[in-house]
Amino acid sequence: MSSIGGFQLPPLTRLTRDVLIVLFVMYAVELAARNLFGLPIDLLRWRAFGAGFAPWQPVSRYLVQGQGVLGVVLAGVVVYFFLPTVQKMVSTRQLLEALGAGAAGGTLLALVLAAFGPAAGATTGWAPLVTVLVVLFGLKIPDATILLFFVLPVPAKLLVWGTGVVAFLLLLAGFDMGHADFFGTWLGAVGWWYWRGPAGRKRKLMRDAHRIERELSRFTVLDGGKNRPDDDEPMVH
């Protein structure tokens, strides 16, 4: 795929379909629990220490999205457009590793901010994790063109690094838990790519090749003898 956006809709793979269905059902259940049954769903959000924090919140935050329907829809659109292509670029194990690295990065940075910084607000939802798909796509196919907002053509590599810059500036602007989660997720995904992902594997292979080349250079090739013309059997040297 050389471009994403416009009216060129990618094929809906089975995994993408299943993921979108699960995310839709989760959000529908959340809205019903909050607005129809009055359940305290917001207790699942991850708040800063001393501001309603509970030990389960770093994990439970992924189960609730809040009332921002537009943000959830946009995150779902990113999943729809990027996941089918990312599936073809990395294995399922690598995709899970990248998502895990993103979740770990977002959790650790939010934890540091909550423990030692002027943390405010709360972080909630799986939306930051879609950043991992953008990172994988942009670093794998950096010269691909993405139609930002379905209109503006942007190189994939610019979208990756631009997302990191925006996430960093948002964090500096507010020191919000959600912004820490966003930027930390981006850091985790990029770090995975260059450590255990394709870039890290390429670097390891090149390092191994150089090591083997150095070891082979220690050996000296000696000229062997020659077979006599009347020999029937070959001589091996």
Per the structure, the count of domains in the chain is 1
In sequence order, which ranges of 90-176 are alpha helices (DSSP H)?
92-116, 130-140, 156-174
184 domain residue, yes or no: yes
Evaluate whether 3 touches 147 at the Cβ level (below 8 Å). yes
In a domain, 2, yes or no: no
| Residue 230 resides in a domain | no
- Confirm whether 143 is domain-assigned: yes
pTM: 0.80
142: in domain: yes
Does 222 reside within a domain? no
Q: Label residue 102 by pLDDT band (50, 70, 90).
A: very high
Question: What pLDDT was estimated at residue 236?
Answer: 44
237 belongs to a structural domain: no
Question: What pLDDT does 84 receive?
Answer: 92
> Looking at residue 33, what is its pLDDT?
93
Residue 159 sits in which domain range? Answer: 7-201
> Whole-angstrom Cα distance, residue 24 to residue 20?
6
48: CATH: 1.20.1540.10
Is 113 contained in some domain?
yes
Per-residue confidence (pLDDT) for residue 122, from 0 to 100: 84
Q: For residues 138 and 163, what is the distance between their CA atoms, to the nearest angstrom?
A: 11
